[in-house]
Structure 1
Amino acid sequence: MKKVFVLLISVIIFIPFAGLAQDGGTSRVKWYSIEEAEKLNKQQPRKIMIDVYTDWCGWCKKMDKETFNHPVIAAYINEHYYPVKLNAESKEDIVFNGTTYKYVAQGARGYHELAAGLLNGQMSYPSVAYMNEKMELLGAVPGYMNAQSIEPLLNYIVEDKYTSESLEEYQKNFQSNIAAD
């Protein structure tokens, strides 16, 4: 009886943590480093989507868990983009497009030069920056976006609609692939 009680207590204690171990490292999106995306883009050009985040950003974690793990969003990103994760406070040098970007120590927290360049100095997290196939910055969108709000933006960029119409106009006729809740 004592062994059964110990086993039962062990199961009750460890079951809540089992889900954390499984969910913590899984992502439906195949993320690349910026260097990997640059190399892949030279072989087979695609748009590049850069998720600019920090380790302490709660909204960044929510966007990872809910938006980027949504099956429709993850499948679309994997098919049409080279998705990149960029920690805006990374202390490692990054070589991109022949330029070396470094960490800049500033106050309690510093920032990475590449993140600052992608976000035009507007350091807001999360932010998603977009580049065309020529690795030219198209722009960055600051703030949390759920699956329903990012889906038309992802399509708008892939379809090059930004060259001919506003996002607002595009959204009026956009047909979502996400089932209504």
Structure 2
Amino acid sequence: MMKKILIALFLFIGTMSIQAQEIRWVTLDEAMARQKKSPKPIFMNVYTDWYGPCKMLDKETFQDPEVIDFINKNYYAVKFNAEGNSVVAFKGNKFSNPGFDPNRKGRNSAHELTSYLKVQGYPAMYIIDRNGDTQQQIIGYKTHEELLKILR
């Protein structure tokens, strides 16, 4: 009986740790609001749905436990679709994607925020301070080792 309880406990703990191991993504609006209450920088991943290196970043780098832990502890994490149709308030401006076509497959028009951030390629990652100023821009796919070296 005790053996079954221990096995069940280990399985439960293992399941909980697997579920807890992901980056806690929020919207840019949520990150800015949280930053006002408890200041820490924002780590923003600007991606597209169709681009292979963006998908690799999600599947590989952002699944690494050390990356997950580091980003969750040190940043508010924002995942922003560079071709999405969200309306975003940032630094006193409203940004949208007036050319967004919901029926389009693959590439769509670029969101206005990507122009404002001066995105030079995808994936693009930004470190944004509590004033909304870009402290660092990281362009292109990075392995977990490369990203951690940059972030540290």
Give the alignment's TM-score, normalised by structure 2: 0.77
* Alignment correspondent of 2:148: 151
- Structure 2 residue matching 1:111: 3-state secondary structure: coil
- Structure 2 residue matching 1:78: 3-state secondary structure: helix
- Structure 1 residue matching 2:22: 3-state secondary structure: coil
* Alignment correspondent of 2:52: 58
Amino acid at match of 2:66: V
Distance 1:144 1:127 in 2: 8
1:75 to 64, 69, 75: 69
* Alignment correspondent of 1:139: 136
Distance 1:115 1:61 in 2: 18
Deviations 1:89-116 (A, max 9, x none): 011211123210011428x631111122
Q: 1:130 and 2:127 equivalent?
A: yes
1:87 to 81, 91, 113: 81
Q: How does 1:92-131 map to 2 (within 5 A)?
A: 92-105=86-99, 109-118=108-117, 120-122=118-120, 124-131=121-128
Amino acid at match of 2:69: A
Gaps spanning 5+ residues in structure 2: where?
A: 1-19, 101-106
Amino acid at match of 2:82: A
Larger radius of gyration: 1
Hey, which bits of structure 1, 4+ residues long, moved more than 2 A?
Answer: none
Give the alignment's TM-score, normalised by structure 1: 0.66
Gaps spanning 5+ residues in structure 1: where?
A: 1-25, 156-181
Name the count of aligned residue pairs.
129
